Amino acid sequence: MRTVKKRRKVSIIGAGNVGATTAQKIVENGLADVVLLDIRDGVAQGKALDILEAGPLLGFDTRIRGTGRYEDIADSSVVVVTAGFSRKPGMSRDDLLTKNGEIIRDVAFNVRKFAPDSIVIAVTNPMDLMAYVLWRVTGFARERVIGMGGALDSSRFAYFLSEETRTSVSNIQSLVMGGHGDQMVPLLDFSTIAGVPVRKMVPADRLAAIVQRTRDGGAEIVHLMKDSSAYFAPAAATYSMIESILHDRHRIIPSSVFLQGEYGIKEAFVGVPVRLGNQGLEEIVELPLSEDESRQLRNSASAISEGIDALKRLFHDFSE
């Protein structure tokens, strides 16, 4: 009897703009079947149906199912967590800590129960801290809980460099490390345009302005959109991580992972270049940073550690 091979399954918790756009990219590219979950009645179901109705026009046969039941995420290869509140004008990522911490703790309990073999990608802000909550509550190995942030920040940095130099984005390699927030660390010595270091292509004052714009990238979009935050680029960044995992591409993508001494940092989720494959985190790539870059990275990690301490005070026992 012929064995029917099922497509792999990606579950997305949260059917807001980032979650739904990520789901759309996955099914349109035929990467996997998707479960889109949201506790708001009918939201995930409606968006899933809307995406499916584009199938005949775009020629995809991958499936997406909207649901409000966590049981439906069973057997997921990857679970993406986008649930929670987004930033509003005047809010920092850290302002979201208490509200989203409670939401993500509940999500993590359900992921542990219904998708115990999955790789989890944290997207909800403040992302590095929500990745920590997911890791603590699920009890998964650090290789299976990864935060999306560095991929997005690096893409923003690359776009701004492209805009400044009027050069195709395909010619630009960029790298941003550190927390996904105001203290991220764009690495100029490891960012190039057609193989040429950016310092040789862009005047120092313009580079400084681009670095600052990268750090303010999310806030700039919040300011422009007023009642929403970014979602097209975050969804693309998340998709790139899922694609490398499911296709076992071993791509090096800046991501937030739990460091245990790498770069001299312990016990914190921090964005660093990592190799992603079908086991999740395969390798943390340690680069020879300058003294100034190392200092900036440590400062960024210290801010994340302070947030983790706040989470511990808030929740006391993550198992409750």
What is the pLDDT at residue 97?
Answer: 83
pLDDT digits (tens, 9 = 90+) for 39-69: 999 999 999 999 999 999 999 999 999 999 9
d(CA 277, CA 238): 14
d(CA 75, CA 59): 26
What is the pLDDT at residue 64?
Answer: 97
What is the pLDDT at residue 2?
Answer: 57
Give the CATH number of domain 9-147: 3.40.50.720
Q: Which CATH number fits domain 150-312: 1.10.150.120, 3.30.420.40, 3.90.110.10, 3.30.470.20?
A: 3.90.110.10
Does 205 score more than 60 pLDDT? yes
Does 92 score more than 70 pLDDT? no
Mean pLDDT of 107-115: 98
Catalytic amino acids? 180
Q: Side-chain half-sphere of 93: how many Cα atoms within 13 Å?
A: 24
Q: Pick the more confident residue, 36 or 319.
A: 36
Q: Is the pTM of this model over 0.85?
A: yes
Residue 108 CB neighbour total at 10 angstroms:
26
Confidence at 96, pLDDT banded by 50, 70, 90: confident
Residue 7 CB neighbour total at 10 angstroms:
15
Record the tokens describing residue 304, joined without a space. 């994340």
pLDDT digits (tens, 9 = 90+) for 216-230: 999 899 899 988 889
Check if 9-147 and 150-312 are the same fold: no
d(CA 137, CA 151): 25
Percent of the chain topping pLDDT 70: 94
Record the tokens describing residue 107, joined without a space. 């999500």
Record the tokens describing residue 95, joined without a space. 């302002």
d(CA 122, CA 279): 16
Does 95 score more than 80 pLDDT? no
* Distance separating the N- and C-terminal Cα atoms of the chain: 47
For the chain, which residues make up each domain, given as ranges?
Answer: 9-147, 150-312
What is the pLDDT at residue 182?
Answer: 83
Q: Which residue has the tokens 């301490």?
A: 309
CA 84, 88, 92, 93: dihedral to nearest 10 degrees?
Answer: 20
Out of 18-27, 47-56, 83-92, pick the least confident. Answer: 83-92
Q: What is the mean pLDDT of the chain?
A: 93
What is the pLDDT at residue 181?
Answer: 83
pLDDT digits (tens, 9 = 90+) for 132-184: 999 999 999 999 999 999 999 999 999 999 999 999 999 999 999 999 888 89
Mean pLDDT of 289-315: 92
d(CA 200, CA 284): 28
